Structure 1
Amino acid sequence: MTIAFRRIAAAGVVLGSLITSEAALAQAAPILSDLDRFHPVIAENGMVSSQEALASQVGVDILKAGGNAIDAGVAVGLALAVTLPRAGNLGGGGFMLIHKADSGETLALDYRELAPARAFRDMFLDDKGEADSQKSRFSGLAVGVPGTVAGLYEAHRRFGGGTLNFAQVAAPAIRLARNGFPVSEDLANSLESVADSLSQDEAARAVFYKTDGSFYRPGEILRQPDLANTLERIANEGPKAFYEGPVAQAIAERVTAGGGLMSTDDLAGYQPVWRDAITGTYRGYTVASMPPPSSGGIHIVEILNMLEPHDLAASGANSAATIHVMAEAMKRAYADRSEYLGDPDFVKVPVKALTSKEYAIARMADFDPEKAANSAEIKPGDVVPYESDQTTHYSVVDKAGNVVSNTYTLNFSYGVRMMAPGTGVLLNNELDDFSAKPGVPNAYGLIGGDANAVEPRKRPLSSMSPTIVFRDGKPFLVTGSPGGSRIITTVLQIILNVVDHGMNIAEATAAARIHHQWLPDEIRVEEGISPDTVRLLESLGHKVAVKDTMGSTQSVLIAEDGLRGAADPRREGALAVGY
């Protein structure tokens, strides 16, 4: 398999003239060329890496206009709601990790969706008491109270640079929605692939498909006037324009019409939460990532702790010996995830124990370098109490050293595939991330327990893992990824590839990936892992399955002489761009 590494080949347009006419659109559309996939994009003053080229350029334009990384991060999040509708969103939620250079603080912003107040434990079960995936994935019951608007606004309120107000930061997204933008090949293919279900929703059909039912083709202009109006209201009035009034009413009514339980009171009561980041150390580096209700930070640190005693540099990147110990550590971490992780506002998560190096040593005490452990025999560890493939991530670094690492989602591609009429807002199906029935796998094959059972006003567990790695107290690597259950292991491998294997950020991004999540008991690998390595792993007792590519990491490495960016070549249209 050949993976092309792509980036912008010509400078973008300035903020003031961004997306104002079809001529400007043609100028702003990035000229993409195949480059050596092992070469990062290099910049001195600022860098944005996201899954969609126009949104990345919006972020850099904000930096050039005097905004800081948080201003740019908010602008990218709003722009992706327009240009990457399968994952970028106003109707979903996510996590943002922010590092402020002047104070040295690193904080986690939780704007994850909430279960409505009328949600109840067994709402996703059928008449026989079995988990009903139709209810948890494609009905109004699946829709969580959205957090994106409140989260992005709160990030800007607290940490925006002050040069640009929220309306200015939102302006590029409004212009993209109102004036339209050229449909990329990726977006055209995406909309065609979900047409059977997405077109069943009248409002979504009117936005994403032509009046005769035909598809938008690459290069044609897609306009979203209802979404532009919603964004404009938010820009002028703040979050209340989304969580109260006609937009909130339209969301609640659409969810209810789809069989859900959301009310306007649920929307009016939504608040994002500032939390302390999860931190750990690995070979002299400090790793900061998201705390619960993300499982990402805890288990990235836990797996790194389990791997630290092993010389991965000596065994080599993607060798059988390296993959073997990685898989065994991953099994144990995902077993722990099934038992202990949930919304910390509802359950006590043993963070200190799970992230301690002593626990990691005990967890790997039965590791056999010559034999794979049977996952059926691996149970959650004894501790002392103390998401979709269609998620998207972006990373932003500014010239002052401020950092944003943000992952947000609708869960499945285009979420529940419902749009609130008159708003342009697609709705999530994030509540599928709850344990519909403890012990029964969700859509990503993840097993959950009572800690992640459905409760009113509770946040479902997530794997989203926006991460910052520090060297000598300074940000060194900013990364994250979509990928559902595979987010944790994808982010982990970016860290290992840079720290243990000495890869530059583009090499670390392009390298073939592996994944084990305890159950099912198999190592999932991308094409690119040597057949000889696969045979060696099988001889150790592993089941190995070669499957589709995993993740879409958007990373920035901060070197002494400047910034190095890499957008994952696995997803068409991703772009790292700097200045």
Structure 2
Amino acid sequence: MISFSRLDRITRRVSIGAFSIILAVAVAVPAGAQEATGGQRFVPIRAEEYMVVSQERQASEVGRDIMRRGGNAIDAAVATAFALAVTLPRAGNLGGGGFMVVHRGDTGETVAIDARETAPAASDRDMFLNAEGEADPELSRRSGLAVGVPGTVAGLALAHERYGSGTLTFAELVAPAIALARDGFVVSADTSAALASPDTAERLLADPNVAAYYPGGAAPIGGDTLKLPVLAGTLQAIADNGPSAFYEGEIAQGIVDAVTERGGRMTLEDLGNYEAKLREPVHGTFKDYEVFSMPPPSSGGVHLVQILNTLEDQPFGTYGLNSAEMIHVMVEAMKYAYADRAHYLGDPDFVDVPVKALTSKAYAHQIAARIDMTRATPSSEIAADPGALPYESNETTHFSVVDDAGNAVSMTTTLNFSFGVGFGTAGGFLLNNELDDFSAKPGVPNAYGLIGGDANAVEPDKRPLSSMTPTILLKDGEVSLVTGSPGGSRIITTVLQVILNATVHERNIATATNAPRIHHQWLPDYIRIEEGISHDTIRLLEDMGHEVRVMDSMGSAQSIQVGAEGELYGASDPRRPGGAAVGD
């Protein structure tokens, strides 16, 4: 891949000048963009210098403006994340956590930042069981016990401290979010629809703290301008005093009060002891690409690389995108990966996760040799002692950023369920129910009728397993693709298909994003499939022995692809309206 140097890019900035293109869903046709040829129905947005792609337009604009002011991609990511905490309340957050993969253009270094929530020190492996010793989903999803110690603020501060440009202070990166909360932002139709759900509205507004966020105690509708002065005050305190303002003092006490009032065990010591962690990303290769993704306690990177390794030697040239052969071989590879996920994956600070073995080419070759291209392998034949995983909540958000110096950020954050645990703090923000991602009772069917594994059992200070898969692909040492998605257990397979569609199937990033998706997670043993797959293809899959269920859409990929001359192409997934790809 040919890439411009930083000097070349700066020269082009002077000669081309600044311009802005904003896209609600990446299907418009900007001049000079990748052409919609060869069955490619969609065209991405194009930019020359830098780009932010997120699920919410106003947050994307914040990140774009930070880079206009001289900040780098890491600065822009921090500012975008804080903005999402205001404008995308169901998933953007101060009260949750997430993962970030960062590539530095100057050194070639790629790192991972773990801002996953932790279990309070008083947690124990039986705390989600009822009096009869059975898993109680109300305890793990709606009570104070469900809330993990939030990691977002610490993770963003660490990213800025270690990898920011030095041009802008932490306070300057928080300032746009403060302005949105203080002066008001336009409520998107997507957020309005999420708030309008009777169950959501009743649950949220029953909490006095949350009801106080909204004028008159009523949820806003799309197009309204909403001001959140209490949240603005919390953000101002973080801007003025750094992350300590969140993990100590009044804001921290508000978190503890909200949690303990609902039966939780969080203390001020839990908050004061929280640390975001730098981790070595999972690294693999696929064809001509290097793949960098999130390591445990996310399972995303391990199993993304494992599946790519398993598929690498397939004759993609003879498989059409979403052909029966392509879907079949992807599904078979997915089954093995998700079976391994259930057995091996957990917080690496507590369990020994065999990352190198699971991501080795040799292991993938063993799996590939077991795949029969004429028949589906029943999941019962893949693991004799299964531990299975529930379908995790969709309510996560992802964004991708690339700047003109070759820096890139892929970040996924979450509250877990939509609007998290369903109650908030006096500080103006919602809390997560992330501890539901632990195995409620290892070895015994949980609320989904599925079995969880010991590696992901609840323990004090432990981080629950996740599927978040923020990912960066390099080609010839330079950024080629930045991608990620929400979607719970479907995140891994969503990211997989975006990568395959953009690389071996040679689709532009918008077409790669829009293509119908499939998913299999080993148990339950059926292919989940989106509308748009040919009925003939479904029949062929059923003839192979697959059970196929057409269900709701999966994921919301937010991706940036780098062209041969260093130009940027972005696509925001139309599966969740309101996203934006914003260029220089």
The correspondence for 2:318, drawn from 284, 298, 314, is: 314
Partner amino acid, structure 2, of 1:515: H
Q: Distance in 1 between matches of 2:231 and 2:187?
A: 16
The equivalent of 2:225 in structure 1 is 221
Verify the 8 A CA contact 1:47 1:398 in the aligned structure 2. yes
For 2:507, what is the secondary structure of its paired residue? coil
The equivalent of 2:33 in structure 1 is none
The equivalent of 1:522 in structure 2 is 526
Tell me if 1:128 matches 2:105.
Answer: no
Verify the 8 A CA contact 2:205 2:218 in the aligned structure 1. no
**1:330-357 CA distances to partner (integer Å, 9 max, x unpaired)?**
0010000000000000000001100001
Q: Distance in 2 between matches of 1:381 and 1:352?
A: 23
The correspondence for 1:269, drawn from 270, 273, 276, is: 273
The equivalent of 1:44 in structure 2 is 48
The correspondence for 1:242, drawn from 238, 246, 262, is: 246
Q: Distance in 2 between matches of 1:161 and 1:97?
A: 16
Worse-matched range after superposition: 288-297 or 367-376: 367-376
Q: Distance in 1 between matches of 2:207 and 2:171?
A: 31
Verify the 8 A CA contact 2:96 2:415 in the aligned structure 1. yes
Tell me if 1:402 matches 2:407.
Answer: yes
Partner amino acid, structure 1, of 2:578: G
The correspondence for 1:346, drawn from 338, 343, 350, is: 350
Shift of 1:362: 1.2
The equivalent of 1:201 in structure 2 is 207
TM-score, normalised on structure 1? 0.92
For 2:369, what is the secondary structure of its paired residue? coil
What pairs with 1:410-559 in structure 2 (closer than 5 Å)?
A: 410-421=415-426, 423-439=427-443, 447-559=451-563
Shift of 1:448: 2.9
Distance 1:441 1:273, change over 3 A: farther
For 1:566, what is the secondary structure of its paired residue? strand
Unmatched tracts of structure 2, length 5 or more? 1-20, 30-40, 387-391
Verify the 8 A CA contact 2:485 2:494 in the aligned structure 1. yes
The equivalent of 2:36 in structure 1 is none
The correspondence for 2:372, drawn from 368, 374, 378, is: 368
Q: Distance in 2 between matches of 1:56 and 1:294?
A: 25
Verify the 8 A CA contact 1:299 1:488 in the aligned structure 2. yes
Shift of 1:380: 7.5
Shift of 1:31: 7.8
The equivalent of 1:75 in structure 2 is 79
Q: Distance in 1 between matches of 2:399 and 2:149?
A: 23
Q: Distance in 1 between matches of 2:518 and 2:441?
A: 28
Verify the 8 A CA contact 1:74 1:155 in the aligned structure 2. yes
Verify the 8 A CA contact 2:122 2:266 in the aligned structure 1. yes
The equivalent of 2:582 in structure 1 is 577
**1:147-187 CA distances to partner (integer Å, 9 max, x unpaired)?**
00000011001111011101111110000001111212111
| Sequence identity (%) | 61
For 2:173, what is the secondary structure of its paired residue? helix
Tell me if 1:302 matches 2:306.
Answer: yes
Distance 1:445 1:518, change over 3 A: farther
Tell me if 1:111 matches 2:115.
Answer: yes
The correspondence for 2:28, drawn from 28, 35, 40, is: 35
**1:379-421 CA distances to partner (integer Å, 9 max, x unpaired)?**
1799xxxx53010000000000100100010000000011012
For 1:191, what is the secondary structure of its paired residue? helix
Verify the 8 A CA contact 1:445 1:520 in the aligned structure 2. no
Q: Which runs of 4+ in 1 moved over 6 A?
A: 28-34, 441-446
For 1:556, what is the secondary structure of its paired residue? strand
Q: Distance in 2 between matches of 1:338 and 1:447?
A: 9
Verify the 8 A CA contact 2:27 2:44 in the aligned structure 1. no
Shift of 1:441: 6.3
Q: Distance in 1 between matches of 2:318 and 2:44?
A: 25
Partner amino acid, structure 1, of 2:575: R
Verify the 8 A CA contact 1:432 1:443 in the aligned structure 2. no
For 1:274, what is the secondary structure of its paired residue? strand
For 2:574, what is the secondary structure of its paired residue? coil
The equivalent of 2:181 in structure 1 is 177
For 2:271, what is the secondary structure of its paired residue? helix
Distance 1:439 1:482, change over 3 A: farther
Verify the 8 A CA contact 2:135 2:446 in the aligned structure 1. no
The equivalent of 1:389 in structure 2 is 394
Tell me if 1:92 matches 2:85.
Answer: no
Give the paired residue count: 546
Partner amino acid, structure 1, of 2:94: L
Verify the 8 A CA contact 1:29 1:54 in the aligned structure 2. no
Q: Distance in 2 between matches of 1:418 and 1:329?
A: 39
Q: Distance in 2 between matches of 1:64 and 1:48?
A: 12
Tell me if 1:258 matches 2:262.
Answer: yes
Verify the 8 A CA contact 1:342 1:461 in the aligned structure 2. yes
Q: Distance in 2 between matches of 1:557 and 1:30?
A: 16
The equivalent of 1:20 in structure 2 is none
Q: Distance in 1 between matches of 2:532 and 2:27?
A: 19
Please report the RMSD computed on the Cα atoms of aligned residues, expressed in angstroms.
1.9
Q: Distance in 2 between matches of 1:153 and 1:217?
A: 33
Partner amino acid, structure 2, of 1:195: A
Verify the 8 A CA contact 1:338 1:380 in the aligned structure 2. no
Q: Distance in 1 between matches of 2:97 and 2:87?
A: 17
The equivalent of 2:170 in structure 1 is 166
Shift of 1:217: 2.1
What pairs with 1:278-293 in structure 2 (closer than 5 Å)?
A: 278-293=282-297
For 1:110, what is the secondary structure of its paired residue? strand
TM-score, normalised on structure 2? 0.91
Distance 1:318 1:115, change over 3 A: same
Q: Distance in 1 between matches of 2:421 and 2:412?
A: 19
**1:291-324 CA distances to partner (integer Å, 9 max, x unpaired)?**
0000000000000111112112311110001100
Q: Distance in 1 between matches of 2:537 and 2:398?
A: 31
The equivalent of 1:13 in structure 2 is none
**1:192-250 CA distances to partner (integer Å, 9 max, x unpaired)?**
11102111111111214x41x54422221111111100000000100110000000001
The equivalent of 1:9 in structure 2 is none
